[in-house]
Structures are given as C-alpha cells and as structure tokens.
Amino acid sequence: MPQYRRKKLNLGVKKQFQVWLLVRVLGVVLITSLISAAVLYFYARQEIADSFFQAHIKIRRVSDLLLPVIMAGSLVSLFSGMALALFLPQKIAGPVFRIEMELKRILKGDLTTVISLRHEDILQDLAGQININTDDQRQKVQDLKNRQIAIAKLAADNDMARLLPLLQEQKEKLDTFQV
C-alpha cells in the first residue's frame, strides 16, 4: 500500500478552471455590491426636511431608518446568490454527468468508449486524459487477446518450443497490471 504524504496547497493547479470560477463568483459579488450601493444611495438622497419633524417621534433608533436599505440589500444579495447557486453548478454538473455515464460504459468493459464534451466545457482536460488512459488500456487488452489467440493456436498444434516463450511473454505482460 503506497504511503501518501501531505502536500502543500497548490493554488497553481488548473489555473484556467480557477480563473473561470473566480471570475464568475467575483462578478456576482461585484454586481451585488453595486446594486446594494445604488439602493443605499437612492435612499440616502431622499430629502427628509419636510417630514423630519413628524418622523423624529416615530424613529427611535438609526436601525429603524436603515431597515428598508438593509432589507433591499439583503434581497439583492439573496437573489444573486440564488442565481449563482442555480446556474454556476450547471456548467460543471453537465460535463461531470456525461463523464460519469461514459465511465460506467468503460467499467462494463467497453474500451472503445470516447468521452466527448462540448468545446466550451470546462472539464475538457479531464475527459481528454480519460480518453488517453482508456485508449492505452484498450491497446494493452488487444495485445493480450492477440497473444492468447497465438497461444491457443500453438497449444492446438502442440508446438511446445514456441508455446513456452509466448506463455512467458504473456505472463510478463499480465504482471505489468497491479491487482
């Protein structure tokens, strides 16, 4: 069993994905902040001179005056957070679902499976690496099948002189797999 060492946090892994995610999250935060600031500015610019003398009796705390501003800012943040939570995972969940479905086919033994995602999908690199690995495994299995056919033919012909080295090669190929 391999020993795993704790690695330092590597923020350079998949910079393209990190930048993509960061831009979207910061974009929503920035838009939310701007809208909240606009709402606060709108409420702060209203003139209160005429109604001040009537309102000072009803308003006991500053929080009573700022309550509409706080509620409006909270609603803007809530709706933008909901939009982010609804739409951002879709950009990741769709490709992940597609990769999962294709990996199930590979697990069933279909090594001809090729994972193809849309060009703009963020998980293109992962799908490409899985395709490379599957192709490599397919070639190894095909090589083993070809050797097995040759072994069966030599066994049927009772050609032990050529059969034993081929069996040894087959064993060496199988030993490259860790199970």
Confirm whether 32 is domain-assigned: yes
Question: Of 93, 94, 95, 113, which is closest to residue 103 (Cα–Cα)?
Answer: 113
Amino acid code (one letter) for 15? K
The answer to whether the CB of 92 falls within 8 A of the CB of 124 is no
Instruction: Give the count of domains, the chain.
Output: 1
Confirm whether 26 is domain-assigned: yes
| Residue range of the domain that includes 58 | 12-94
The pTM score is 0.60
Q: What is the pLDDT of residues 49-99, one digit of tens each?
A: 555 555 555 555 656 666 777 777 778 778 877 777 777 777 787 888 899
Confirm whether 16 is domain-assigned: yes
Confirm whether 119 is domain-assigned: no
Q: What is the pLDDT of residues 4-22, one digit of tens each?
A: 565 555 555 567 777 777 7
